[in-house]
Structure 1
Amino acid sequence: MSDILGEISVKLAQILLPIIIFVGVSGNILNIIILTRVNLRNHACSKYFLALASNNLLYSLFTIQYLLSNGFSIDGQTISNISCKILQYIGSACPFLSPYFIVLASIDRFCASSSNVNIRALSNVTNATRLIIFIVICVLLFFINTLVLNEYRDDGYGCTIRPETLYNQIFYIIQIILFAAIPPILMIFFGLLTIYNTTRLQVNIQVTIRHRRTESQLARMLFLQVAIYILLNMPMCIMYLMLTLPLDYIPTQEFFFALSISTISFNFSFATTFFLYILTARVYREELFRLISKVFHYRRANQVQPMSTTRHPEVTRHRN
């Protein structure tokens, strides 16, 4: 039974992960292009979505390493200690950044919908840029220990910090709390506050109707993104928490099979934003159609044969 489950998990990785990688890379590239267009780039929330798309693109490329390791038994972390440290660093920091970009976007939607002028003023592109840089620096510093302490071991543990140390156990528990507990709580909390602001309070924002419409659509993009994030990420986080905490539970082959499925679901969460934006935001769809129309118009213009530069003989005689 365990061999069958192992073979199924490998086959699923070989089939699904290439699709997830392709969708993640192409979708996030389109997100970056569209979010930098004129109608969207001047919104603070778009800055957080842009940072999220950039980080998701990087992690989608990193998923190639996970595909090779779990689908074809080619683990780049086993090449050397340097590859072990770098790949672990990227694989730890990138997933950590995404939920906090969503949290920042949730806080921004709360500020933008507030009736307090001072709170609304906090929602601006300058503050968004500063907070993105701050979060990136904090996460990169938090995982700096992986560059120092991670090492490849031949005793079956692979590329990791020494698992038997108290430091490693505490670090993993803190990591899971910061990733699996705090972001969803903050997302839900500020999401509910935003809904309260938009439904109960009469907010008098001195902006154009088009700008208000875009702000509302950005909020819908965010709400669905929070729901999908929790749905696709929580199973894996709960299972890793069960492995990390000193519980009496002994993992079975069925547990590890479910863990492999939840890991694929986790990787898929980095490829969903493009479809979520299309479903929830008209302004995003309009910008996508404009981009497609512009590309086809450009290709059509290039297919037109250039006019001959040779002078007509009658014109030449006339000039002479």
Structure 2
Amino acid sequence: MSNTTAVSTQADLINQIYRYNQIFTRYTLGFALTMGNFGSILDILVFSQAHMRKNTCSMYFIACAISELFTFNVGDSTRMLNFGYKISIYNMFDWLCRVRYYITFAFVAIPHYFIILASIDRYFASSRNARRRQWSSPRIARRLIIGNILLWLVVYSHCLIFYTNQTGQCSTYDYAYDWFLRIQDAICAAFLPLLLMCIFGWLTLKNIRAIGKQIRPNEDVHTLNTMSRKDFQLIKLLIYQVAVFSLLFMPQPCFFIYDLSTYYTPKSPIRVAIEFFINNAVHCLVYIKFSCTILINLSISKLFRVELYRLIQTKIFRQKRQHAVIIATHRGTEHH
């Protein structure tokens, strides 16, 4: 009788874990999908204004926001439907299974490397060396944006070959390839971006401190003249984005390594359920990280808030005023 009770209690606990995972997925990915799309569109509108889009850092932010739309509407939405509502769209067709994982992996990496390129750009822009500052130019930025997209579309093209839903479940069905993919993703989409962001963030801060000390007055004054308050605000945004990236993205590759290292370890049903929950949670954190971009911009950058307010004033309220004037003029004409 006691054994039956224990088994029943264990089964109830496992069912609870899976139910909490479903609820957790609905709310976290639902929030990320809504806030992410809203934030990405706002970022595109703000940084695309005529006096903003000429800045190379703004160009990277625009490219990052556009690529994040693919991240949310392909990766986030399908994961939310699958784990939150048990609607497995990408299990229906083999081609959809392959394309879904291909786009998801590629467009998780692509936005990260736009932030890295923006960090590198700010390092060159803040340099006291005139030749280095020349590397921060719109022409170079446009080439790097296109190159970044093509690079990661090629790097993750193997997903189109190895992912399949032959048994009705979209997966790789190849343990060796699974090892390769997770290690590649941990390096290319987590450890390497974090390392590069930290390196160039630190180098940029070092340049700014050097400018402030004015060790070489002639060069420093020229650098200050080439860097506006807008540039310093964009550098501040990048630093905070790196911090949030570190906090929210690193758990995923760490769990991947743990999961692969314990692949052949015998596990109880409760441990399997807990690891399933953790695995899903660290995936959700990736999308939460992307959706937090707009919150960082609004809370940290006065420049972004001012530009957003100006955008609303000029594009929305002006159109309403113009519409009101047209109606008033039309009514006045009718009276005459």
1:272 CA displacement = 1.1
Matched, 1:273 2:293: yes
Corresponding letter in the other structure for 2:26? Q
In structure 2, the residue matched to 1:316 is none
SS at match of 1:144: coil
Matched, 1:35 2:47: yes
- Pairing of 1:135-154 with structure 2 (within 5 A): 135-154=148-167
- Pairing of 1:216-295 with structure 2 (within 5 A): 216-245=232-261, 252=271, 253-294=273-314, 295=316
**8 A Cα contact 1:152 1:160, kept in partner:** yes
1:246 CA displacement = 6.5
**8 A Cα contact 1:113 1:194, kept in partner:** yes
In structure 2, the residue matched to 1:296 is 317
1:186 CA displacement = 0.7
SS at match of 2:298: helix
Q: 1:249 to 1:182 in 2, by over 3 A?
A: farther
Q: 1:185 to 1:302 in 2, by over 3 A?
A: same
In structure 2, the residue matched to 1:169 is 179
SS at match of 1:198: helix
C-alpha distance in 2 between matches for 1:283 and 1:115? 24
Q: 1:240 to 1:109 in 2, by over 3 A?
A: same
1:240 CA displacement = 1.5
Q: 1:10 to 1:247 in 2, by over 3 A?
A: closer
Q: 1:250 to 1:40 in 2, by over 3 A?
A: farther
Corresponding letter in the other structure for 2:28? L
Corresponding letter in the other structure for 2:243? A
C-alpha distance in 2 between matches for 1:60 and 1:99? 14
**8 A Cα contact 1:173 1:244, kept in partner:** no
Matched, 1:204 2:220: yes
Q: 1:255 to 1:246 in 2, by over 3 A?
A: closer
1:230 CA displacement = 1.2
Unaligned runs of 5+ in 2: 1-12
Q: 1:302 to 1:209 in 2, by over 3 A?
A: farther
Matched, 1:127 2:104: no
SS at match of 2:112: helix
Provide, for residues 177-213 of structure 1, a one-character-per-residue CA deviation record: whole Å limited to 9, x for no partner: 1112111011111111111111134453647869510
- Pairing of 1:3-152 with structure 2 (within 5 A): 3-62=15-74, 63-152=76-165
In structure 2, the residue matched to 1:317 is none
Q: 1:210 to 1:29 in 2, by over 3 A?
A: farther
C-alpha distance in 2 between matches for 1:114 and 1:120? 6
**8 A Cα contact 1:173 1:245, kept in partner:** no
Q: 1:235 to 1:225 in 2, by over 3 A?
A: same
TM-score scaled by length of structure 2: 0.85
Q: Count the aligned residue pairs.
A: 309
C-alpha distance in 1 between matches for 2:291 and 2:124? 28
TM-score scaled by length of structure 1: 0.89
Q: 1:249 to 1:191 in 2, by over 3 A?
A: farther
C-alpha distance in 2 between matches for 1:310 and 1:49? 49
Q: 1:6 to 1:233 in 2, by over 3 A?
A: same
Provide, for residues 10-61 of structure 1, a one-character-per-residue CA deviation record: whole Å limited to 9, x for no partner: 0111223222211111111010011011231111111111111111122122
Corresponding letter in the other structure for 1:244? L
Corresponding letter in the other structure for 1:235? P
Stretch moving more, 114-123 or 201-210: 201-210
Provide, for residues 248-300 of structure 1, a one-character-per-residue CA deviation record: whole Å limited to 9, x for no partner: 76662323222222222211111111121122222211110011112123124
Q: 1:277 to 1:231 in 2, by over 3 A?
A: same
Corresponding letter in the other structure for 2:320? R
1:135 CA displacement = 1.1
C-alpha distance in 2 between matches for 1:68 and 1:47? 33
In structure 2, the residue matched to 1:159 is 170
RMSD of aligned Cα (Å): 2.2
Q: 1:159 to 1:205 in 2, by over 3 A?
A: farther
1:154 CA displacement = 1.8
Q: 1:249 to 1:124 in 2, by over 3 A?
A: farther
Unaligned runs of 5+ in 1: 313-320
